[in-house]
Amino acid sequence: MSLLYRYFDSPVGKLTLVASDLGIVALLWENDNPARVPLGPLAPGDHPTLDLAERQLAEYFTGERTAFSVPLDMRGTFFQKEVWKALLNIPAGETRTYGQIANGLGRPNHSRAVGAANARNPVSIIVPCHRVIGHSGKLTGFAGGLEAKARLLNLERASFVADEKVAWSDKKQAVSATYARR
């Protein structure tokens, strides 16, 4: 079966959702580098997995969802898949450094390899590579751009704080404090 795709207009730009019969293969950015996630032939089409991904992304962007349950068909090396699986364990509203991910994988000297695998994550947002930051706390590389990364983190922080039933002024202050150090 060829891979099917659909466009999704989001607050961080036009995204391309790509699915196989097994699950979501890619979520690509409008100006994504085609070499970052090689896919082969794509065809526009409808698929229940694309419907589910679109619905869950819409819920995510409205703050109704902080984790995804759409099936994934991740394609990469063993190490890349290990890193991507670790990304799925970072809760919304939180961040981890490349070094923390490497340590969690039992490979403390592999921070750069974690960064390279993170950069090749084919399913941005759903597999939350945007939650990984540099060791200094600064936002670092992201296929969708640093502005999109900051917007996603702010969205998640606001949703997380809202879930904790914090007053709007506190929520606004928490989001500002968390990302003011950029």
Burial of 34 (0-12, 13-18, 19+ CB in 10 A): exposed
- Angle, vertex CA 112, rays to CA 116 and CA 135, nearest 5: 115
Q: Longest C-alpha distance within the chain, in Å?
A: 51
How many residues appear in the chain? 182
- Out of 3, 114, 129, 139, the active site residue is 129
Compute the distance between CA of residue 126 and CA of residue 58 in angstroms, rounded to an integer. 12
CA distances in angstroms from 78 to 10, 117, 129, listed in the order given: 31, 10, 17
Q: Is 72 helix (H, G, I), strand (E, B) or coil?
A: strand
Residue partners of 181: CB distance under 8 A and separation at least 6:
137, 138
CA distances in angstroms from 129 to 43, 55, 120, listed in the order given: 26, 20, 10
**Cα 117 off chain centre by:** 13
Catalytic (active site) residue 129 = yes
What residues are labeled active site? Answer: 129
